[in-house]
Amino acid sequence: MNEATPPADGGSAEVPGPRRRAFLRGAVGAGFAGAAAGGAVAGYAYRAGRPEPPGQVAADEAETGRLPAVPFHGRHQAGILPQPQRQTAVVSFNATADGHAELTDLLQTLTDRARFLTTGGTPPPVGIGAPPSDSGVLGPTVVPDGLTVTVGVGPSLFDGRYGLADRKPAGLTAMTTFPNDNLDPAQCGGDLIVQLSGGHTDTVVHALRDIARHTRGGMQANWRIDGFCSPARPAGTVPRNLLGFMDGIANPDTGSAAEMDGLIWVRPGAGEPAWTAGGSYFVVRLIRMLVEFWDRVGIGEQEGMIGRRRATGFPLDADSLFAAPDYALDPTGDMIALNAHIRLANPRTPQTASSRILRRGYNYDRGIDAVGDLDMGLIFTCFQQDIKRQFETVQTRLINEPLVDYISPFGGGYFFALPGVAGPGDYYGRAMVS
């Protein structure tokens, strides 16, 4: 299972040959089966690159109803590398802090809350001096339940308001509009992004209420989306997206420091300000899946568009889940079409190895649209060292993929996930605002 190394002689992504509907308009959706190596599992407790030990996560959760704390302090934020958890909330905020000092207060408060919520403990008693200091949603003692808090900053934070114009990460721009995007400005961008992920919905909701309560004056929510990561079905495989396909089979090896340094963590120099060390570019794309339409498509066409078997997740040219497709043996796309999603997303060539991204998608499901169809899809998130070299390169390759007819990207943004909080005296973005 050495998929991190692309085949030496991978097939190049030629202009795709037409299939039924493939002639329809081109577009986007880097969300479905991108880059290299790693068995994706639910529950952060497992190292990437290893299949899920069957049943262990489920048994642990069933017995205790909670997951252990994820250490908060570190060189990088703790929520970036772990596998997707059961539940997530992604919330965009605008800073309303009045000036640099209040922004610093906001970042310190956010850090204090994240530290407490991810560590767990007893909320302080208030006596007769105030309403209860905690919502009580998790009971009298706050359990960590694997909570991670990932904080990013958007390009708009670096306008004139906070004197940070010369601190902007070099590659941080407003999100590019790709062909066939259907972006709603009200669900795009933001000065700050906060992603809360944990073992259960109540854990995530509790954390969001707590953070909002402590930061009301400093930031205001712009948009929010909640997501979930399904259990691997069958056990030992990879969680599925709402198209019914396993999603996140191939990813860079998060256990390899060299690979993470080469693909994920930002290195100062080359125009990047020094404070960015240890951070990572954080792309969020909200992608509606037109599931009714999709469900009316034959299985052969579905599998052809993705390039994998729906039931097993196997590449169409292989007999195991984590096998690397051999595009060199299939230069004309007889087995895996040249425009299949997995082939465009990750052609597995030496030339495309540096465009790989760390994908951390979640499913979303939030009601119905104007014609009564289900509003569900993917919260595509990915981390990378360089948005242009990585996400945008992958996304550009996907512009003409056939899958585009079944998806509609409507929101999201480009953010920079701040360096980790090093210790008790540190806070999110300290080097950015100092």
Interface residues with another protein (CB under 8 A) are: 94, 96, 98, 122, 124-131, 140, 213, 216-220
CB nearer another protein, residue 220 or residue 256: 220
CA distance 243 to 234: 16
In angstroms, give the least distance from the CB of 424 to another protein: 18
- How are beta strands 280-289 and 407-417 bridged, if at all? antiparallel
Of the candidates 67, 206, 203, 194, the one whose C-alpha atom is nearest the C-alpha of residue 132 is 206
CB nearer another protein, residue 75 or residue 209: 209
In angstroms, give the least distance from the CB of 217 to another protein: 3
DSSP at 391: I
In angstroms, give the least distance from the CB of 172 to another protein: 20
CB nearer another protein, residue 223 or residue 281: 223
In angstroms, give the least distance from the CB of 221 to another protein: 9
Please confirm whether the linkage preceding 144 is cis (ω < 30° from 0).
no
CB nearer another protein, residue 25 or residue 213: 213
CB nearer another protein, residue 110 or residue 219: 219
- How are beta strands 280-289 and 148-153 bridged, if at all? unpaired
CB nearer another protein, residue 215 or residue 381: 215
For tokens 């998806």, what's the residue?
A: 407
Contact, 183 vs 409, CB < 8 A?
Answer: yes
List beta partners, residue 117: none
In angstroms, give the least distance from the CB of 212 to another protein: 8
Q: Give the pair of three-digit tokens for residue 332.
A: 């004309």
CA distance 75 to 257: 13
CB nearer another protein, residue 203 or residue 222: 222
In angstroms, give the least distance from the CB of 69 to another protein: 18
CB nearer another protein, residue 129 or residue 300: 129
In angstroms, give the least distance from the CB of 220 to another protein: 4
Element (H, E) at 211: helix 201-214
In angstroms, give the least distance from the CB of 219 to another protein: 7
Contact, 390 vs 355, CB < 8 A?
Answer: yes
- Phi-psi label, residue 49: left if phi above 0, alpha if psi -120 to 50, beta otherwise: left
CA distance 287 to 17: 25
Give CB contacts under 8 A, 24+ apart, made by 131-137.
134/210, 135/206, 135/209, 135/210, 135/213, 137/202, 137/205, 137/206, 137/209
Instruction: List, in order, residues 6 or more apart from 374 with CB less than 8 Å away.
Output: 291, 292, 365, 367, 368
